[in-house]
Structure 1
Amino acid sequence: MTPRWYPLRLSTPVARHVFGGRAIADRLGRRGLPAGRIAETWEVSDVDGRGAEVVAGPLAGRTLRELTRAHPDELVGPGWRGDRFPLLTKFIDGTGMLPVHVHADDETARRLEGEPNGKTEAWHVLDAAPGATAFIGTREGVDRAELRSALLAEDFGSVLRELPLRPGDTVYVPGGTPHSFGPDALIHEIEQTSDIQQHAMPWNMQDGSPVDPEQRRANVERLLDEWDPAARPHPTPGLRLPPSGDADRVLCCAGPHFALERWRLGTGTERELPAGRVLLLSNAGGAARVRSAGGDDELGPGRTLLLPAALERASITGPADVLLGYLPDLDRDVRRPLLAAGYGPEAIAALHGG
């Protein structure tokens, strides 16, 4: 039986990794988080062991995976098929530095990890201290032996590109890219559904306990096996589309796996949300109103709604500052509107790492 669709509120597992703090609560305004260190809130997740379930309405108790498999056209979009929901979104508190790590790309994930897909991701910087930087890809000319030696010595700056990280920037990080960010950075992340990674640190990110030296050397070798030496993406401010009244729309990133936009609406401004494909709506500002055929919802700070593809109509009313994640048709959703707005191919290519 096909459900009557409405905006879905999901459970959000939290990760208490050692690099976390209280920024998601204190800076973003998220309420209801447990006490203590919170590194990540998994806003929409179908990762094994951290899968979401619906927490309100007629579908309460149904898992995201169950709905994805039973109703792929209505939940994700017409014609889409897969065993897992394809997108993962998080808020990440980099109060401390994240481990230097690599996620495999699709081909490498299938070959070395036995997984159906890799983990390309993008970070949208919500807040960062003045002078904050990130490690993103290796310096030109670095070979495997040099990278191995530097990683084991924790001499990251000698082999990794260290680039500025500014609020409002987005970094599209293809699988195979060595990376890290922090300290003092607050990030919204969108990525392929996966939790595979190889990291180079002598400590475990879950609790800071030491990694056995032999295991660490093995971890670094696997990281090197999954490394793409050519991956050198840059932070980008995104591309602003022509304004419409008291509304600002920036296309932050767009590639074959996902797209991310940021919308800012003035008080009383109402805008239709894209329909016909699944939409992940995450709130980076104060409480906002979302109206749809399924009801009238308040989207609190640091919270996320999943809008199913079959939801016929939905709108958001300002004041609002929200992030919209979706599976794009790159020609219809990205190339054509950006070319019409006067952007060239090079600027458009920068949205997926350039």
Structure 2
Amino acid sequence: MTGRGEAALYPLRLSITTKPLVFGGHAISRRLGKPGIPDWSIAETWECSDVDGEGAQATNGPLAGYSLRRLISEYPEELMGVGWSGDYFPVLTKFIDAAGTLPVHLHADDATARRVEGQRNGKTEAWHILAAAPGATALCGVVDGVDREQLRRALRAQDFDAVLRRLPVSAGQTIYVPGGTLHSFGPDTLIYEIEQTSDIQQHAMHWNMEDGSPVSDEQFDTNIDLLMQEVCLEHRPDFEPGLKIAVDDGVQRRFLCAGPYFALERWQAGTVRPVRHTFTTAQILTNVGAPVRVRTGDFDEELTSAQSLLLPAICGQVEIAGPADVLFGYLPDLARDVDTPLRTAGYSQALIASLGAGRPETP
């Protein structure tokens, strides 16, 4: 495999996008210890993004300045794996600080995004809870038995608890949220989010999430009409603890979620053995613990707290010295990357399917 560029691919540090939305706070920098972000209220940092107009660029090595879109165009198989082709990087990852409460909103599924919004794909997502205050909750999915007219009336009245499921939230849990699912979370909740590459959304609020300014009655009615075209009443996902595999002495691998669009794993290691992970597709490595040393091929560098690194498929393996607490996000071959290791560990196919809401979707 060779790209059309002059340089070979290597682990990539990417530029990030910061979002100072109205519900944000200071937890990403002060609690997670993320360096290099502005010292004001930040709601989101986009760790790996190829969203149109807000895509990341490489910041290290001979390919510094190359956009992720250009990298995937010039190095498709080196980045994503043998046989892969596509026009953009398919996975988006973020830290989200819900110091305040997010707006009640949804993202269309693929079919609806193409039909209603003229977009190439929708946005299924998953939230991995990094921290949450005691008593924290999330809204996710419509209560069983609520019909479309009841939902519309409640949304117009901003009476969300009358029609939406309110779920308890605690650190370490993960929820897979299919496109079309109404949702919100916060306050006092810090998450890592993985999702399809998209920024489409429809809101049910009388205020704008950028600055809290009011939404006019006319715009609010339009927003509710569009949302009702995209909502799925049947999705009722739940938080899951993930499925654990003991890998080595003091090394644990936990599958947090897995579906056709993305998978997310959390690896933790003590000091006896390092994390050793082999892979055949691009890995978004994100450090959610103390600084660690990352080694793959000739690359041997520190990854500080709350920083991410894009490991191209061509790297093939990575070693991370413990103590370590890291996330790996990727586009999976479900049979190879998820089902096989978990079935080998003794998990039933029903339990494995629960990592992706029963895997009802096809890309």
User: TM-score of the superposition, structure 1-length normalised?
Assistant: 0.98
Aligned counterpart, 2:361: none
Aligned to 1:199: 203
After superposition, where does 1:65-214 map in structure 2 within 5 Å?
65-214=69-218
Letter paired with 1:109: A
Task: Tell me by how many angstroms 1:242 deviates.
Answer: 2.9
The answer to whether the aligner puts 1:17 opposite 2:21 as a matched pair is yes
Alignment of 1:241-252 (within 5 A): 241-252=245-256
Equivalent AA in structure 1 for residue 351 of structure 2: A
CA contact (8 A) 1:272 1:314 kept: yes
Q: Distance in 1 between matches of 2:143 and 2:340?
A: 34
Q: Secondary structure at the match of 2:337?
A: helix
CA-based RMSD of the aligned residues comes to 1.1
Give identity over the alignment, percent: 57
Partner of 2:42: 38
Q: Deviations over 1:227-254 (max 9, x none)?
A: 1111111000001113421111110000
Matching residue of 1:266: 270
1:339 and 2:343 are equivalent in the alignment: yes
Tell whether the 8 Å contact from 1:7 to 1:294 is kept in structure 2 after alignment.
no
1:241 alignment partner, SS class: strand
What is the distance in 1 between the residues matched to 2:316 and 2:239? 35
- Displacement of 1:268 in angstroms is 5.1
**Secondary structure of residue in 2 paired with 1:8:** coil
Indicate yes or no: 2:334 matched with 1:330: yes
Name whichever of 228-237 and 260-269 sits farther off. Answer: 260-269
Q: CA deviation at 1:336?
A: 2.2
Q: Secondary structure at the match of 1:348?
A: helix
Structure 2 length-normalised TM = 0.95
1:77 corresponds to which letter in structure 2? Answer: G
Q: Could you tell me how far apart the structure 2 residues matched to 1:339 and 1:194 are?
A: 32
In 2, distance between residues paired with 1:330 and 1:276?
Answer: 12
State the Cα deviation string for residues 200-226 of structure 1 (Å, max 9, x = none): 011110111111111111111111111
One of 329, 348, 354 as aligned partner of 2:352:
348
Q: Which residue of 2 aligns with 1:239?
A: 243
Q: Which amino acid aligns with 2:296?
A: S
Q: Gapped runs of 5+ residues in structure 1?
A: none
Structure 1, residues 156-214: CA drift from partner, whole Å, max 9, x if none? 11100001111000010000100010000000000000000001011110111111111
Which deviates the most, 266-275 or 311-320? 266-275
Whole-angstrom distance in 2 between the partners of 1:74 and 1:296: 20
Deviations 1:258-316 (A, max 9, x none): 10000011125223222321000011111011001141111111100000111244211
One-letter identity of the residue aligned with 2:249: G
| Counterpart code for 1:163 | L
Selected match of 2:57 from 50, 53, 57: 53
* Counterparts of 2:339 and 2:318, CA distance in 1: 24
Q: Secondary structure at the match of 2:229?
A: helix
Q: CA-to-partner distance for each residue in 1:20-48, whole Å, 9 max, x for gaps?
A: 00000111111121011100000000111
Aligned length: 354
Q: For residues 308 and 96 of structure 1, what CA distance do their matches in structure 2 show?
A: 36
The answer (yes or no) to whether the contact 1:293–1:312 under 8 Å persists in 2 is: no
| In structure 1, C-alpha distance between the alignment counterparts of 2:275 and 2:352, rounded to whole Å | 24
Counterpart contact for 1:289–1:317, Cα < 8 Å: yes
The answer on whether the counterparts of 2:175 and 2:239 sit within 8 Å (CA) in structure 1 is: yes
Contact preservation (8 Å) 2:258, 2:355: yes
Q: Write the letter of the residue equivalent to 1:201.
A: M
CA distance in 1, matches of 2:230, 2:347: 34
Amino acid at match of 2:342: L
Q: List structure 1 runs of 4+ shifted beyond 6 angstroms.
A: none
Which of these residues, 302, 319, 325, is aligned with residue 298 of structure 1? 302
Alpha-carbon distance in 2 for matches of 1:48, 1:318: 37
- CA–CA distance in structure 2, aligned partners of residues 15 and 294 of structure 1: 34
Contact 1:5–1:294 under 8 Å retained in 2: no
CA distance in 1, matches of 2:248, 2:181: 37
Partner amino acid for 2:251?
A: A
